[in-house]
C-alpha cells in the first residue's frame, strides 16, 4: 500500500520520513501518471502558488481532481489545505488554481508573515480518541492559513485562539465572513470531510506520528486494497540519486 | 542513525535564546517549507510579481543585484526599507532581504518591517570583519553563506536557521558554488564514515563546535536546510546543484539579467522540481533566449581589468608571513587552485598601499588586489573575515 506525496515543492521529504516512521512507503508524485499507483495522497506544506504553477505546467490538476472525486483519501497540510479548499482569500493578483473539494473558505497567511509564525499546543479530541496518546498535539504554524468558515458536512477537528493583535485588526476582505460569532475568538485549523483531511499546521515537522496513522486509517476505511498494479518503475531516465538523509525534528 | 529522528541540540546553556518567543523549530520550519523551491532576487515590485507568477517560492528584495554591485563598486548596504515594504506588499510569498555581515541594527530594522528572512550577506560590504550577528537574539530567522562545512556549522551555532553556499555572486559562473557544495558534502561524507573517537580532532580541524559536528555525523547531512547560491544562470545549473545534494536554489542576477526573465524563471523553477529527470530538463532548457553574460574568473582579459579572486592568494601570503619572509622583491606571487603561479604582479610603489598589503598579510586577511592593466597592484579590497 503506497501513499503518494505530491513532490513539486515543500516539505515532501518530511512527510515521507514521517510515513517511514509508521511503516509505510511514500512515493514522490510529480506527474499525472504516477497517481495511478498510489492509494492515497498527501499534499505537503510549502508555497501553494509555486505548487499551483508547477501543477499547471505538468497538467496535474485534472488528474488531482479526478483522484479526489474517486473518493481516495487526500490529506493537505498548510499549502495542501489551500489546494483542497473550494474558496481561498488572500490570493496573489491573478489568483491561483485550486483542486477544490473541501467545502470551506480558507484565508492564506491568516496569522501574518514569519514573525507571526508560532507553535501552540492544540487539543484534538478526535485524534486522541482514535490514536490515544497525550491529549494535546504540538502544532507548528508557519505562515499558516486559517479556515474561516466550513460547510455543514465538514467535521471540525481542531481550533486555535486567534492571537489578540490579529483579532483587533479589521481586514476589509473578510469583514463579512467574520460576522460568525464563533470565528471571532478562534479559528479553525483542522477539518475532515469524507475522504479529505486538512490541517493548517505541520505534523510532519514534529515527532508525533498520530496524524499520519490517522490518515492511514482513513485509507483502510475507504477499503482500498493494495493497488492492482505494483508501482511501475517510475524512474524513467532519472539518474541514481544519492541516498537521502532526513533533517532532524527540531524541538525545544 | 536509527530511531525516531528526534535530535536535541545540546550545549544551549551559554546561548540566550528566548525559546518561548522564537523557538528555533519555527525558524527552521519556514526553511523546510522552502525546500525544493527557487528564491529569486528582485529589485522592484514588478519583478517580484513576475517571480511569483513564474513559481518562485520566495523573493529576495534588493536595491541592486550582485552583478551590478560588482560592476559599480563602492559600499553596498542594506536596501531602503521603503523599497522592501513595497515589494512585500506586491506579493503573497515570503520576502527576504540582505543585511551586512555583523550589522545587527540593519537586521533589527528588517525584523521591524516584518519580512520573513534576513540574509546576512557577503555580497554586501562587511560591517564587522571579525564577528557575525548573534542571530539567537532575533525572532526573525537568518540565512547565512558558507564555503565549507566548518563555516556552515559556525553560522548554525550563531543561530542561522538556513545555510546557502557563498558561490560567486553576480558572475553567472557556477564553479564557485559547486566548489563550496562539494567541500561541504565531501566533508560530510568523510565525517559519516569516521570513527567516533576521531570526531574531536576533526571538529578542531574544521574549527566548528563539536556538538554540531557530531550531530552532522549522526544525521548524515547538515542539520539545517542547505540551499545553493551564487552563479546559477540556467536550468541545468539549478538541477546540477540539486543533484549535488542541495535542498533548493537562490537565483540572483541569473533571472533578471537574462534576455527573457519570465521564461527563464519558469524554466529554473521546473528544473529544481524535476532535477533528476533529464527529459524535462531538456524541454525547459529549449528556447530560453540569452543567459546573463557573466564573468569568467579564468579569463585573461577580465583579470587585467577587474578584481582578482584567487582563492589561494591568502595561502601564499600566509606562507610568506609565517616563514617570516617579507616581500621585499617587489613581487607578489599568486597561486591558483590548480597550482599555477603567476609572478608578474608587482607590489605598488605607493607607500600607503604597500603598507596596507603588508599589514594585511600579517593579519592573515583575505585580500583582493586590483591591477588595472598595469601588472602592478593599484588597489586592494578586504573580502571578508577568515572564517
Q: Does A241 touch chain B (CB under 8 A)?
A: yes
Q: Does B32 touch chain A (CB under 8 A)?
A: yes
CB-CB under 8 Å, A248 with B5:
yes
| pTM, 2 dp | 0.78
d(CA A93, CA A252): 38
ipTM of the complex: 0.83
Model pLDDT for residues B171-218, shown as the tens digit of each residue: 888 999 999 999 999 999 999 999 999 999 999 999 999 999 999 999
Model pLDDT for residues B72-106, shown as the tens digit of each residue: 888 899 999 999 999 999 999 999 999 999 999 99
What is the C-alpha R_g of chain A? Answer: 18
Residues 6+ apart with CB under 8 A from A241: B243, B276
Please count the other Cβ atoms lying within 10 Å of the Cβ belonging to residue B247. Answer: 25
- Angle at which helix B149-158 crosses helix B210-219, to 10 degrees, equals 110
Q: Does A22 touch chain B (CB under 8 A)?
A: no
Catalytic residue from among A14, A15, A27, A78 = A78
Q: Does A229 touch chain B (CB under 8 A)?
A: no
CB-CB under 8 Å, B270 with A54:
yes
In terms of CA atoms, which chain A residue is nearest residue B94?
A113
Q: Does A113 touch chain B (CB under 8 A)?
A: yes
CB-CB under 8 Å, B54 with A241:
no
**Is residue A183 scored above 80 in pLDDT?**
no
Inter-residue contact A174 to A224 (CB < 8 Å): no
Residues 6+ apart with CB under 8 A from A233: none
Inter-residue contact B180 to B165 (CB < 8 Å): yes
Q: Does A126 touch chain B (CB under 8 A)?
A: no
Inter-residue contact B197 to B184 (CB < 8 Å): no
In terms of CA atoms, which chain A residue is nearest residue B91?
A92
When pLDDT is cut at 50, 70 and 90, the band that residue B347 belongs to is low
pLDDT at B322: 37
Per-window interface: B 78-97 vs A, CB < 8 A: 88, 91-95
Chain A residues touching B88 at Cβ < 8 A: 113
Inter-residue contact A199 to A160 (CB < 8 Å): no
Instruction: Establish, for the pair of chains A and B, how many residue pairs have beta carbons separated by less than 8 Å.
Output: 174
Chain B residues touching A13 at Cβ < 8 A: 35
CB-CB under 8 Å, A91 with B35:
no
CB-CB under 8 Å, A11 with B35:
yes
Q: Which residue has the higher pLDDT, B274 or A244?
A: B274
Inter-residue contact A13 to B242 (CB < 8 Å): no
3-class secondary-structure state, position A166: helix
CB-CB under 8 Å, B54 with A46:
no
Residue B120 dihedral angles phi and psi, to the nearest 5° = -85, 100
Percent of chain B with pLDDT over 90: 59
Which residues of B does the annotation mark as catalytic? 98
pLDDT at B319: 35
Facing residue for A142 by CB, picked from B30, B58, B266: B30
Q: Distance of CA B335 to CAs A37, B196, B377, B383, Å?
A: 56, 36, 16, 17
d(CA B169, CA B304): 20
**Is residue B28 scored above 70 in pLDDT?**
yes
pLDDT at B53: 93
Amino acid at each position: 500500500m503506497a501513499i503518494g506525496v505530491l513532490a513539486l515543492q515543500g516539505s515532501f521529504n518530511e512527510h515521507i520520513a514521517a510515513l517511514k516512521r509508521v511503516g509505510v512507503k511514500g512515493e514522490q508524485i510529480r506527474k499525472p501518471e504516477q497517481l495511478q499507483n498510489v492509494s492515497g495522497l498527501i499534499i505537503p506544506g510549502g508555497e501553494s502558488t509555486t505548487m499551483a504553477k508547477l501543477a499547471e505546467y505538468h497538467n496535474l490538476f485534472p488528474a488531482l481532481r479526478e483522484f479526489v472525486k474517486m473518493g481516495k483519501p487526500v490529506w493537505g497540510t498548510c499549502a495542501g489545505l489551500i489546494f483542497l479548499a473550494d474558496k481561498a482569500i488572500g490570493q496573489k493578483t491573478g489568483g491561483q488554481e485550486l483542486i477544490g473539494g473541501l467545502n470551506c473558505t480558507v484565508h492564506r497567511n491568516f496569522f501574518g508573515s514569519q514573525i507571526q509564525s508560532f507553535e501552540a499546543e492544540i487539543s484534538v479530541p478526535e485524534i486522541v480518541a482514535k490514536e490515544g496518546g497525550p491529549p494535546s498535539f504540538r502544532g507548528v504554524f508557519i505562515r499558516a492559513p486559517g479556515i474561516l468558515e466550513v460547510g455543514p458536512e465538514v467535521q471540525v477537528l481542531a481550533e486555535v485562539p486567534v492571537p489578540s493583535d490579529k483579532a483587533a485588526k479589521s481586514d476589509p476582505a473578510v469583514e463579512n465572513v467574520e460576522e460568525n460569532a464563533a470565528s471571532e475568538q478562534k479559528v479553525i485549523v483542522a477539518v475532515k470531510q469524507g475522504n479529505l483531511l486538512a490541517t493548517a499546521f505541520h505534523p510532519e515537522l514534529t515527532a508525533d506520528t498520530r496524524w499520519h496513522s490517522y490518515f492511514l486509517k482513513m485509507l483502510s476505511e475507504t477499503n482500498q486494497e493494495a493497488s492492482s498494479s505494483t508501482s511501475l518503475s517510475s524512474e524513467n531516465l532519472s539518474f541514481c540519486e544519492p541516498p537521502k538523509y532526513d533533517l532532524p525534528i527540531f524541538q525545544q | 542513525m536509527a530511531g525516531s529522528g528526534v535530535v536535541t541540540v545540546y550545549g544551549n546553556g551559554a546561548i540566550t535564546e528566548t525559546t518561548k518567543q522564537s523557538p528555533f523549530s519555527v525558524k527552521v520550519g519556514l526553511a523546510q517549507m522552502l525546500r525544493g523551491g527557487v528564491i529569486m532576487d528582485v529589485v522592484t515590485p514588478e519583478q517580484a510579481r513576475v517571480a511569483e507568477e513564474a513559481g518562485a517560492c520566495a523573493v529576495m528584495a534588493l536595491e541592486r543585484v550582485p552583478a551590478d554591485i560588482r560592476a559599480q563598486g563602492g559600499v553596498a548596504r542594506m536596501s531602503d526599507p521603503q523599497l522592501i515594504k513595497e515589494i512585500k506588499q506586491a506579493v503573497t510569498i515570503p520576502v527576504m532581504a540582505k543585511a551586512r555581515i555583523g550589522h545587527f541594527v540593519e537586521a533589527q530594522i528588517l525584523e521591524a518591517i516584518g519580512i520573513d528572512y534576513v540574509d546576512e550577506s557577503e555580497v554586501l560590504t562587511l560591517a564587522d570583519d571579525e564577528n557575525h550577528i548573534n542571530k539567537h537574539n532575533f525572532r526573525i530567522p537568518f540565512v547565512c553563506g558558507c564555503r565549507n562545512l566548518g563555516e556552515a556549522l559556525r553560522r548554525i551555532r550563531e543561530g542561522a536557521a538556513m545555510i546557502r553556499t557563498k558561490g560567486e555572486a553576480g558572475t553567472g559562473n557556477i564553479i564557485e558554488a559547486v566548489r563550496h557544495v562539494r567541500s561541504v558534502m565531501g566533508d560530510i561524507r568523510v565525517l559519516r564514515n569516521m570513527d567516533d573517537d576521531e570526531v574531536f580532532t576533526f571538529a578542531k580541524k574544521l574549527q566548528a563546535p563539536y556538538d554540531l559536528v557530531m550531530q552532522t555525523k549522526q544525521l548524515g547531512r547538515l542539520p539545517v536546510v542547505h540551499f545553493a547560491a551564487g552563479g546559477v544562470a540556467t536550468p541545468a545549473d539549478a538541477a546540477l546543484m540539486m543533484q549535488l545534494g542541495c535542498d533548493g536554489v537562490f537565483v540572483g542576477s541569473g533571472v533578471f539579467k537574462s534576455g527573457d526573465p519570465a521564461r527563464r524563471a519558469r524554466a529554473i523553477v521546473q528544473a529544481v522540481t524535476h532535477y533528476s529527470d533529464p527529459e524535462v530538463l531538456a524541454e525547459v532548457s529549449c528556447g530560453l533566449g540569452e543567459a546573463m553574460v557573466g564573468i569568467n574568473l579564468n579569463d585573461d582579459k577580465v583579470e587585467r581589468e577587474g578584481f582578482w579572486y584567487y582563492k589561494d592568494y591568502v595561502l601564499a601570503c600566509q606562507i610568506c608571513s609565517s616563514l617570516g619572509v617579507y616581500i621585499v622583491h617587489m613581487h607578489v606571487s599568486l597561486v591558483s587552485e590548480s597550482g599555477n603561479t603567476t609572478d608578474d604582479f608587482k607590489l605598488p610603489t605607493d607607500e600607503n598601499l604597500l603598507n596596507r598589503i603588508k599589514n594585511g598579510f600579517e593579519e592573515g586577511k583575505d585580500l583582493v588586489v586590483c591591477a588595472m592593466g598595469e601588472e602592478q597592484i593599484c588597489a586592494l579590497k578586504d573580502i571578508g573575515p577568515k572564517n
